[in-house]
Structure 1
């Protein structure tokens, strides 16, 4: 796997023409740090260029799919705001990498998917989740704008009213709730998740590959146009929120294991 040999925080495994991609920071619930974020910014392009796969299964190691951003990494961006310029650039590459990857990407949510983890999952093409998994975008809970893709994808899947309720509160929902409102495709018992995903991946792998790929790309034309219109502004708002007292307080409160007190001006 020369194409993927230099990745540090993502694992790759082949099963025939199915490429299994695993976020691999299990001790941190696969939360995104600088290394993983940079790798996510290029992995979907590398997947597109991989000659030995047609279908992708994306999952997480351990108990979670991804818990979003690593709080220690957030503190670094608060201390040195210039670092957030790279984060913004990479965030766009992640979203457009998912949209532009011709190969169908199946998200296998083995556990919670929150924040950026939820964004990545929801930009995948078909989403299976274990029944115990919860999904949500709690950016606002840590004083952050949901700018890294949530503002694009949530309204398209569940409508503006529901999307705003969840994005403005940061509330999580169960996978069963997510499936019932169309945010994800399937909520299944945890002990059936691997088999269900494998069967669906094999079905696509045994299908008309080019027709499947180009159908995905046709469907994504409108989504790409929408992301092009929204991502720059939403990420600019997120960059602004990175230097607010509320965000600094939320990150500090998380480290101190207490509830944040918002509305401070000092």
Structure 2
């Protein structure tokens, strides 16, 4: 069986490409979850990786859940508790892995991001879209709820009102609307998508990698911690940052009016 995910590294940037275009890169009914989880573990342990680009092969970014798999779960004699456990052991591991990954992630959305595909994009830190991309939180259209964390992720990206509009109608929006709503930060022609995502990744990767990881971690923690708790964590991280060689290099390079060379 062909691997679902292509893992490629150039310099300090890893590109992960979902590679099942004939099925529109679904996240269930295949090895997608296991392969993305394995990639996250590899990236987390590799100090040479400073940024990650996630994209899809073919006309779709990801169609989300595989409909045939849903049919087997819903139409067959499958116990509800087993379905619950399948979610907990399966696709629900994705938001936890990507949320806790300290390396910054960029979704390069080449086409339709539907259901869990949209939620996958929201698990990333930044989103760049082709002008051919479309977005739908379409679970309600299939008579199910966002079981992969979408009800937590989407409101934090575009706000509760817009998230409710998408989630309760199941409506599909285009790339221009996604940009207006803040779902994506850039919209570019399809042929420029990976260049735009890689330019953003390279800009991130040019900074001190340890501090970049800590900065992402602080922003993630700030989504659910109190200000007082986040300030305590910030003080601890800042103490570590002040002691890094990259901090000394940044200060020295600034005073010497030259470009710093960060080594991590």
- Range of TM-score over shorter length: 0.7 to 0.9
Alpha carbons of 1:62 and 1:10: their partners in 2 closer, same or farther (altered >3 Å)?
Answer: same
Counterpart in the other structure of 1:150: 150
Output the CA distance in 1 between the equivalents of 2:72 and 2:33. Answer: 14
Output the CA distance in 2 between the equivalents of 1:89 and 1:117. Answer: 18
How far is the alpha carbon of 1:224 from its aligned partner? 5.8
The C-alpha deviation readout for 1:94-121, integer Å capped at 9, x for no partner, is: 1111111010011100111111111010
Aligned with residue 21 of structure 2, among 19, 26, 31: 26
TM-score (norm 1): 0.77
- Residue ranges of structure 1 left out of the alignment (5+ in a row): 1-5, 227-266
Counterpart in the other structure of 1:13: 8
- Residue ranges of structure 2 left out of the alignment (5+ in a row): 227-264
Judge conservation of contact 1:99–1:224 (CA < 8 Å) in 2: no
Output the CA distance in 1 between the equivalents of 2:115 and 2:40. Answer: 19
The C-alpha deviation readout for 1:58-114, integer Å capped at 9, x for no partner, is: 001111110111111112222234255122332331111111101001110011111
Q: How does 1:180-219 map to 2 (within 5 A)?
A: 180-219=180-219
Judge conservation of contact 1:122–1:184 (CA < 8 Å) in 2: no
TM-score (norm 2): 0.78
Q: How many residue pairs end up in the alignment?
A: 221
Counterpart in the other structure of 1:69: 65
Judge conservation of contact 1:114–1:137 (CA < 8 Å) in 2: yes
The C-alpha deviation readout for 1:148-204, integer Å capped at 9, x for no partner, is: 111011111222122111101111111111111111211111122121111111111
Counterpart in the other structure of 2:255: none
Aligned with residue 48 of structure 1, among 35, 44, 47: 44
- Indicate the structure whose relative CO is greater, using CA pairs within 8 Å and at least 6 residues apart: 1
